[in-house]
Amino acid sequence: MKTPIKIGKITLPNNIIAAPIAGYSDVAFRRLCLEFGAGLVPTEMVSAKGLVYRNKGSYPLLQKSSNESPSCVQLFGSEKEFFAKAIDELKRLDYHFDIIDVNMGCPMPKITKNGEGSALMKDVLNACSIVETLKKYHDTVTCKIRIGWDENNINAVSFAKSLENAGADLVTVHGRTRKQLYSGKANWDVIGEVKTALTIPVFGNGDVLNFDEAQERMKAYGIDGVMIGRGAIGTIRVFCEKIADNVNFTVKDIILKHIKYLEEYFDEKYTINSMKKHLAYYLKGIENTRELRQKINKIETVNELKQEIKKGLL
């Protein structure tokens, strides 16, 4: 069963939340996640340095829907000074977020080579200084980490404890090492060990594909909540406590609503490209959609896309 949970000075309506997924977690997708029961929907990760240097590519990532309350922005970087300045830049842009989440788990080489993402797990002093700096400017700060760098360096327990001592209000643990990237299985035993060691809330992440699995993980490992990432793409009802809660929504209804929301925030090119990515998941496992998939790849306008969805999904 979902339960409200207090994170620092913020209370989430429930403890099943969405993960920030680069290339997918835009404002339209987050709006859908909330409508279908997610307790929180962090933004895609935003570069602290990019904000400070006013990189225009960062701005679309900061868009919020009217139902994003509480709201959360995920920042990444490796220098505490830029995190402090990023807070000032958010204020200048008049973007208020209730929670600042620090990405300490991204495993991609283009991120870790700069000492960012999961590379921070090898630099606990710097990671803690980032949290301490943010806490001077913001009430509620959370962190997303992995279980370690590789199988020989699994340090999630000590690392998370240090983050708690630095002032973090919640730690979310993805149950893979940086070396695993997104392969293999998530190690939930380590996530459970982190929860045992900390007094602040601990959420688990990794390989949760439906609501029942989320409940099972919380019960088995004593964690406070679950973050669902890839399991939510194309299966937005994963956040519903009971599928019957949204039984009136067919896959076609959800897709058309997703397109509608994308049109509200983005131009046609972005809308089409984004939906093509999402549709690969929405249509997965649905019979007799081969022809529809082929047509979608050639579509160039949103109206064409909507018409093909209406005809191809009865």
Active site residues: 106
* Contact (CB, 8 A) for 210 and 228: no
Query: 87 phi and psi, to 5 degrees?
Result: -65, -45
CA dist 222 and 210 (Å) reads 18
199-223 burial, b for 16+ CB within 10 Å, e for fewer?
A: ebbbbbbbbbebbeebbebbeebeb
CA dist 89 and 1 (Å) reads 39
* Contact (CB, 8 A) for 71 and 98: yes
The strands making up 72-76's β-sheet, listed across from edge to edge, are: 16-18, 225-228, 202-205, 170-177, 141-148, 99-104, 72-76, 45-47
Closest CA to 131 of 172, 80, 77, 90: 80
Distances (CA, A) of 172 to 64, 80, 147, 188: 22, 20, 10, 12
Distances (CA, A) of 9 to 119, 174, 211, 308: 29, 24, 27, 46
CB atoms within 10 A of CB 109: 11
* H helices present in the chain, as ranges: 27-35, 48-52, 80-92, 109-112, 124-137, 156-166, 188-197, 211-221, 251-265, 268-282, 290-296, 302-312
Pairing type for strands 45-47 and 99-104 reads unpaired
